[in-house]
Amino acid sequence: MRPHPSKLLAGLALAILAACTTTPTGRSQLILVSDADMDKMGATAFNQIKTSGKLANDPARARYVRCVADALIAQLPEPARSQKWEVALIADDSANAFALPGGKVGVHTGLLKVAKDQDQLAAVIGHELGHVISRHAAERVSQQFAAETALQVANSATGGQRQQLLGLLGLGAQAGVILPFSRKHESEADVLGQRYMAQAGFDPNAAAALWQNMVAQGNGSRVPAWISTHPDPQQRIVSLQAAAPALMPTYQQARAAGRKPACR
Protein backbone atom coordinates (compact mmCIF):
# COMPACT_ATOMS: atom_id res chain seq x y z
CA MET A 1 0.00 0.00 0.00
CA ARG A 2 1.35 3.41 -0.95
CA PRO A 3 1.59 6.11 1.71
CA HIS A 4 -1.09 8.79 1.63
CA PRO A 5 0.02 11.87 -0.39
CA SER A 6 -0.24 14.06 2.69
CA LYS A 7 2.26 11.83 4.49
CA LEU A 8 4.60 11.96 1.52
CA LEU A 9 4.39 15.75 1.46
CA ALA A 10 5.01 15.93 5.19
CA GLY A 11 8.01 13.65 4.87
CA LEU A 12 9.38 15.67 1.97
CA ALA A 13 8.95 18.90 3.92
CA LEU A 14 10.90 17.45 6.84
CA ALA A 15 13.61 16.24 4.48
CA ILE A 16 13.90 19.70 2.92
CA LEU A 17 14.17 21.36 6.33
CA ALA A 18 16.87 18.90 7.35
CA ALA A 19 18.76 19.28 4.07
CA CYS A 20 19.40 23.03 4.07
CA THR A 21 23.15 23.71 3.98
CA THR A 22 25.41 26.67 3.25
CA THR A 23 27.95 27.08 0.45
CA PRO A 24 31.50 28.36 1.11
CA THR A 25 30.32 31.82 -0.01
CA GLY A 26 27.50 31.81 2.54
CA ARG A 27 24.57 31.08 0.25
CA SER A 28 21.85 28.72 1.47
CA GLN A 29 21.26 25.64 -0.65
CA LEU A 30 19.16 22.50 -0.61
CA ILE A 31 21.00 19.16 -0.65
CA LEU A 32 18.88 15.99 -0.71
CA VAL A 33 21.56 13.55 -1.84
CA SER A 34 24.63 12.35 0.02
CA ASP A 35 28.23 13.05 -0.95
CA ALA A 36 28.78 9.29 -1.31
CA ASP A 37 26.01 9.07 -3.90
CA MET A 38 27.36 12.11 -5.75
CA ASP A 39 30.83 10.54 -5.76
CA LYS A 40 29.29 7.45 -7.32
CA MET A 41 27.66 9.57 -10.01
CA GLY A 42 30.94 11.35 -10.72
CA ALA A 43 32.84 8.07 -11.03
CA THR A 44 30.22 6.68 -13.42
CA ALA A 45 30.39 9.74 -15.66
CA PHE A 46 34.20 9.85 -15.60
CA ASN A 47 34.52 6.16 -16.44
CA GLN A 48 32.26 6.70 -19.42
CA ILE A 49 34.57 9.45 -20.65
CA LYS A 50 37.67 7.30 -20.17
CA THR A 51 36.16 4.36 -22.04
CA SER A 52 34.92 6.53 -24.90
CA GLY A 53 38.37 6.69 -26.50
CA LYS A 54 38.65 10.46 -26.06
CA LEU A 55 41.65 10.58 -23.71
CA ALA A 56 44.54 12.47 -25.31
CA ASN A 57 47.78 10.60 -25.92
CA ASP A 58 50.01 13.51 -24.94
CA PRO A 59 52.03 12.75 -21.79
CA ALA A 60 53.78 16.13 -21.66
CA ARG A 61 50.61 18.20 -21.74
CA ALA A 62 48.88 15.75 -19.41
CA ARG A 63 51.69 16.31 -16.87
CA TYR A 64 51.30 20.08 -17.30
CA VAL A 65 47.57 19.91 -16.61
CA ARG A 66 48.15 17.63 -13.63
CA CYS A 67 50.74 20.03 -12.21
CA VAL A 68 48.29 22.95 -12.27
CA ALA A 69 45.46 20.85 -10.86
CA ASP A 70 47.62 19.49 -8.03
CA ALA A 71 48.67 22.98 -6.94
CA LEU A 72 45.02 24.02 -6.71
CA ILE A 73 43.83 20.83 -5.04
CA ALA A 74 46.40 21.39 -2.28
CA GLN A 75 44.47 24.54 -1.31
CA LEU A 76 41.01 22.97 -1.15
CA PRO A 77 39.28 22.54 2.20
CA GLU A 78 39.19 19.11 3.77
CA PRO A 79 38.16 16.43 3.04
CA ALA A 80 38.52 17.36 -0.64
CA ARG A 81 42.20 18.23 -0.23
CA SER A 82 43.12 14.75 0.96
CA GLN A 83 40.94 12.96 -1.56
CA LYS A 84 42.60 11.00 -4.33
CA TRP A 85 42.05 13.09 -7.47
CA GLU A 86 42.17 11.81 -11.03
CA VAL A 87 43.02 14.28 -13.79
CA ALA A 88 42.50 13.53 -17.48
CA LEU A 89 43.45 15.37 -20.66
CA ILE A 90 40.66 14.92 -23.21
CA ALA A 91 41.19 15.16 -26.95
CA ASP A 92 38.56 17.76 -27.76
CA ASP A 93 38.99 21.07 -29.58
CA SER A 94 36.46 22.95 -27.43
CA ALA A 95 37.89 25.29 -24.80
CA ASN A 96 36.42 23.54 -21.79
CA ALA A 97 37.17 21.74 -18.56
CA PHE A 98 35.12 20.11 -15.82
CA ALA A 99 35.39 18.71 -12.31
CA LEU A 100 33.12 16.03 -10.92
CA PRO A 101 32.24 14.85 -7.42
CA GLY A 102 34.52 12.07 -6.29
CA GLY A 103 37.77 13.78 -7.27
CA LYS A 104 37.62 13.84 -11.07
CA VAL A 105 38.99 16.59 -13.33
CA GLY A 106 38.92 16.74 -17.12
CA VAL A 107 40.63 19.33 -19.32
CA HIS A 108 40.02 19.57 -23.07
CA THR A 109 43.04 20.01 -25.31
CA GLY A 110 41.25 22.96 -26.93
CA LEU A 111 41.44 24.89 -23.66
CA LEU A 112 45.24 24.89 -23.87
CA LYS A 113 44.99 27.04 -27.01
CA VAL A 114 43.07 29.71 -25.08
CA ALA A 115 44.67 29.45 -21.63
CA LYS A 116 48.06 30.86 -22.60
CA ASP A 117 49.95 30.04 -19.40
CA GLN A 118 49.67 28.17 -16.12
CA ASP A 119 47.88 31.04 -14.38
CA GLN A 120 45.12 31.19 -16.98
CA LEU A 121 44.72 27.42 -16.93
CA ALA A 122 44.50 27.61 -13.13
CA ALA A 123 41.63 30.09 -13.51
CA VAL A 124 39.57 27.48 -15.35
CA ILE A 125 40.48 24.47 -13.23
CA GLY A 126 40.01 26.49 -10.05
CA HIS A 127 36.57 27.54 -11.26
CA GLU A 128 35.59 23.93 -11.91
CA LEU A 129 36.86 22.87 -8.50
CA GLY A 130 34.70 25.64 -7.07
CA HIS A 131 31.65 23.88 -8.50
CA VAL A 132 32.60 20.68 -6.68
CA ILE A 133 33.40 22.33 -3.34
CA SER A 134 30.12 24.24 -3.50
CA ARG A 135 28.28 20.95 -4.23
CA HIS A 136 26.57 22.52 -7.22
CA ALA A 137 25.90 19.17 -8.88
CA ALA A 138 24.29 17.84 -5.70
CA GLU A 139 22.20 20.99 -5.50
CA ARG A 140 21.06 20.52 -9.07
CA VAL A 141 20.18 16.88 -8.42
CA SER A 142 18.23 17.92 -5.32
CA GLN A 143 16.32 20.58 -7.22
CA GLN A 144 15.47 18.17 -10.00
CA PHE A 145 14.36 15.23 -7.91
CA ALA A 146 12.78 14.45 -4.60
CA ALA A 147 15.11 12.62 -2.23
CA GLU A 148 13.88 9.14 -3.17
CA THR A 149 14.27 9.74 -6.90
CA ALA A 150 17.72 11.26 -6.45
CA LEU A 151 18.91 8.13 -4.64
CA GLN A 152 17.44 5.93 -7.37
CA VAL A 153 19.42 7.86 -9.98
CA ALA A 154 22.59 7.62 -7.90
CA ASN A 155 22.19 3.85 -7.65
CA SER A 156 21.15 3.20 -11.24
CA ALA A 157 23.22 5.26 -13.66
CA THR A 158 22.48 3.16 -16.73
CA GLY A 159 20.16 3.09 -19.69
CA GLY A 160 17.70 5.95 -20.05
CA GLN A 161 18.84 7.55 -16.80
CA ARG A 162 22.43 8.02 -17.95
CA GLN A 163 21.69 11.07 -20.09
CA GLN A 164 19.83 12.70 -17.21
CA LEU A 165 22.65 11.84 -14.81
CA LEU A 166 25.29 13.44 -17.01
CA GLY A 167 23.21 16.55 -17.47
CA LEU A 168 22.84 17.04 -13.74
CA LEU A 169 26.61 16.69 -13.32
CA GLY A 170 27.22 19.34 -15.99
CA LEU A 171 28.12 16.98 -18.84
CA GLY A 172 26.31 16.13 -22.07
CA ALA A 173 25.14 12.70 -23.16
CA GLN A 174 28.18 12.65 -25.45
CA ALA A 175 31.16 12.23 -23.13
CA GLY A 176 33.10 15.41 -22.56
CA VAL A 177 30.43 17.87 -23.73
CA ILE A 178 30.04 20.53 -21.03
CA LEU A 179 26.58 21.77 -20.09
CA PRO A 180 26.14 25.04 -18.20
CA PHE A 181 25.37 25.43 -14.56
CA SER A 182 23.11 28.31 -13.55
CA ARG A 183 24.41 31.88 -13.52
CA LYS A 184 24.30 31.74 -9.72
CA HIS A 185 26.49 28.65 -9.70
CA GLU A 186 28.88 30.04 -12.30
CA SER A 187 29.38 33.30 -10.42
CA GLU A 188 29.95 31.41 -7.17
CA ALA A 189 32.52 29.13 -8.82
CA ASP A 190 34.29 32.23 -10.21
CA VAL A 191 34.68 33.63 -6.68
CA LEU A 192 36.03 30.38 -5.24
CA GLY A 193 38.22 29.57 -8.23
CA GLN A 194 39.95 32.93 -8.12
CA ARG A 195 40.47 32.49 -4.36
CA TYR A 196 42.05 29.04 -4.86
CA MET A 197 44.31 30.49 -7.55
CA ALA A 198 45.71 33.12 -5.22
CA GLN A 199 46.16 30.63 -2.35
CA ALA A 200 48.06 28.29 -4.68
CA GLY A 201 50.41 31.00 -5.94
CA PHE A 202 48.76 31.67 -9.30
CA ASP A 203 48.16 35.29 -10.29
CA PRO A 204 44.44 36.06 -9.72
CA ASN A 205 44.58 38.69 -12.47
CA ALA A 206 44.84 35.82 -14.95
CA ALA A 207 41.16 34.92 -14.45
CA ALA A 208 40.00 38.06 -16.25
CA ALA A 209 42.74 37.64 -18.87
CA LEU A 210 41.51 34.12 -19.62
CA TRP A 211 38.00 35.38 -20.30
CA GLN A 212 39.38 38.15 -22.48
CA ASN A 213 41.03 35.42 -24.55
CA MET A 214 37.72 33.56 -24.70
CA VAL A 215 35.95 36.63 -26.02
CA ALA A 216 38.73 37.37 -28.52
CA GLN A 217 38.48 33.86 -29.97
CA GLY A 218 34.69 33.96 -30.11
CA ASN A 219 34.20 31.33 -27.40
CA GLY A 220 32.83 33.90 -24.99
CA SER A 221 30.09 35.32 -27.18
CA ARG A 222 26.67 34.54 -25.75
CA VAL A 223 23.09 35.67 -25.77
CA PRO A 224 22.23 38.62 -23.47
CA ALA A 225 22.90 37.93 -19.80
CA TRP A 226 19.30 38.14 -18.71
CA ILE A 227 18.36 35.05 -20.76
CA SER A 228 21.65 33.18 -20.45
CA THR A 229 22.54 30.50 -17.93
CA HIS A 230 26.11 31.84 -17.89
CA PRO A 231 27.14 35.31 -16.77
CA ASP A 232 27.74 37.69 -19.68
CA PRO A 233 31.45 37.42 -20.60
CA GLN A 234 32.08 41.16 -20.34
CA GLN A 235 30.33 41.34 -16.98
CA ARG A 236 32.36 38.33 -15.87
CA ILE A 237 35.61 40.04 -16.86
CA VAL A 238 34.66 43.18 -14.94
CA SER A 239 33.80 41.15 -11.83
CA LEU A 240 37.04 39.15 -11.96
CA GLN A 241 39.11 42.29 -12.52
CA ALA A 242 37.41 43.97 -9.57
CA ALA A 243 38.08 41.00 -7.27
CA ALA A 244 41.76 40.55 -8.16
CA PRO A 245 43.29 43.45 -6.12
CA ALA A 246 41.86 42.17 -2.84
CA LEU A 247 43.38 38.75 -3.58
CA MET A 248 46.88 40.05 -4.34
CA PRO A 249 48.00 39.94 -0.66
CA THR A 250 46.92 36.27 -0.54
CA TYR A 251 48.85 35.62 -3.76
CA GLN A 252 51.95 37.40 -2.44
CA GLN A 253 51.78 35.51 0.86
CA ALA A 254 51.54 32.22 -1.03
CA ARG A 255 54.61 33.07 -3.10
CA ALA A 256 56.51 34.13 0.02
CA ALA A 257 55.59 30.80 1.63
CA GLY A 258 57.14 28.93 -1.29
CA ARG A 259 54.01 28.16 -3.25
CA LYS A 260 55.44 29.01 -6.66
CA PRO A 261 53.95 26.64 -9.24
CA ALA A 262 56.27 25.98 -12.17
CA CYS A 263 54.05 24.05 -14.55
CA ARG A 264 55.21 23.95 -18.16
CB 71 within 8 A of CB 263: yes
End-to-end CA distance of the chain, in Å? 63
Q: How are beta strands 86-90 and 20-22 bridged, if at all?
A: unpaired
Find out whether 37 and 156 touch, Cβ atoms under 8 Å. no
In the residue annotation, 128 being an active-site residue is answered as yes
Q: Environment class of residue 28 by beta-carbon count within 10 Å: exposed (0-12), middle (13-18) or buried (19+)?
A: exposed
Q: Identify the CA nearest to 122 among candidates 219, 231, 206, 187.
A: 206
Catalytic-role residue among 86, 128, 139, 188? 128
Q: How many CA atoms lie within 13 A of 211 on its CB side?
A: 22
Given a contact cutoff of 8 angstroms between Cβ atoms, the answer to whether 9 and 144 are in contact is no
Residue type at 177?
V
* Residues designated as active site: 128
